[in-house]
Amino acid sequence: MRKAFACTVMTAVVALTGCKVDATRSTVQQPSIQTAKSPFARVEPAPRTASLAVPPPDHVVIVVEENHSYPEIAGNPNAPYIRSLMREGAVLTNYHGVEHPSQPNYLDLFSGSNQGVTDDSCPHRFSAPNLASELMAAHLTFRGYAEDLPSAGYTGCSNGRVGLPWGATYARKHCPWVNFTNVPPADNRPFTQFPKDFSKLPTVSFVIPNLRHDMHSGSVLAADTWLRQHLQPYVAWARTHNSLLIVTWDEDDGSADNHVPTLLVGPMIRPGRYTERVNHFNLLRTIEDLYRLPHLGNSKNARPITDVWQSRVNQSP
């Protein structure tokens, strides 16, 4: 692989609409906790007062891009569509990958743990709870859509030879749900099956562009163009259908800080730039809290992202 914004808490309730976003204010830094088996892993701890109680979106689509730092994307003239999403939505300017390389970060975001994997090896099989299994247990739905996945339920490590030679464009290491025995194979879909009628989307879905369109092996411009062509219709629909787009990056270009762009766009989001330090565990915790799901792995110790929402957030004692 290639290389806080803080609001004063008054009593027990914070009204987000009365809280100003100010990128010039000092960032709230939380102490980090090492996770097992990874020298890079950090958990941003949850204050006891943090809880998320906003109306859940009807649909959440999470797009994961590859291997670029926040400074490489913010203001990049080759990312005009991503920059337009940043203007429309909430930008988490102090968001970080958990570790290096790619695969552990996808597992962290999907299951709250790297499941002991600290490299990009394949295949792996796990039975641990994860975002998909917890959604299904709550009578909600999940699906992963990967560009160039050869067929629904495919479990190969790539769409070429193992080792991702030139010409391979799909990588199982970027699709963590494939590794879990408690996620039905039918929920592993090619992106060609992403619904044109967005009301038919599952509650939560992941979208994984191929290696040429996720900035892994292709250019920023190619990824930006792909995102606009394939996700802008959903963004426009989501504005009037209580639905949310999240775009994040697995890791940066290999630095110890692992500072990556992350943005949220939807009618429930309050546009602005938010400077609290957060990472994949905080994002997972936020999705879990939106749908009242159990907290997986390190998300138990991560605070949800509470400041980006148009509606009120509860701060419980």
pLDDT category of residue 313 using cuts at 50, 70 and 90:
low
- Quick check: 305 pLDDT over 70? yes
Integer Cα distance of 257 and 49 in angstroms: 27
Residue 15 in tokens:
């009204």
Residue 266 lies in a domain: yes
Q: Does any domain span residue 32? A: no
Q: What is the mean pLDDT of the chain?
A: 86
Mean pLDDT of 181-191: 98
Region 302-307: mean pLDDT is 96
Q: Is the pLDDT confidence value at 290 over 90?
A: yes
Give the pLDDT score at 51.
62
Residue 163 confidence class, pLDDT cut points 50, 70, 90: low
Which pLDDT score is estimated for 52?
Answer: 75
Rounded-to-integer distance, Cα 253 and Cα 66, Å: 9
Residue 239 lies in a domain: yes
How much is the average pLDDT of 175-184?
Answer: 98
Total tally of structural domains belonging to the chain: 1
47 found inside a domain: no
Residue 33, pLDDT above cutoff 70: no
Q: For residue 261, is it within any domain? A: yes
Residue 28, pLDDT above cutoff 80? no
Any domain includes 40: no
Q: Is 235 a member of any domain?
A: yes
Over 80: is that where the pLDDT of 286 sits? Answer: yes
Residues 145 and 207 sit within 8 Å (Cβ to Cβ): yes
Domain span holding position 110: 57-281
- Which has the minimum average pLDDT: 19-23, 66-70, 101-105, 174-178? 19-23
Summarised one tens digit per residue, pLDDT across range 187-228 is 999 999 999 999 999 999 999 999 999 999 999 999 999 999
Tens-place pLDDT, residues 225-275: 999 999 999 999 999 999 999 999 999 999 999 999 999 999 999 999 999
- The amino acid sitting at 301 is N
Structural domain contains residue 305: no
Position with higher pLDDT, 41 vs 67: 67
Helix, strand and coil in the chain, % to nearest 5? 25, 20, 55
CB 97 within 8 A of CB 105: yes
DSSP 295: P
Least confident of 9-18, 142-151, 197-206, 276-285: 9-18
pLDDT of residue 120: 97
Q: Which of 37-46, 158-167, 298-307 has the lowest mean pLDDT?
A: 37-46
Quote the CA–CA distance of 248 and 96 in Å, as a whole number: 10
241: exposed, middle or buried (Cβ count in 10 Å: 0-12, 13-18, 19+): middle
Q: Does residue 39 have a pLDDT over 50?
A: no
CATH code of the domain in which 73 resides: 3.40.720.10
What DSSP character marks residue 47?
P
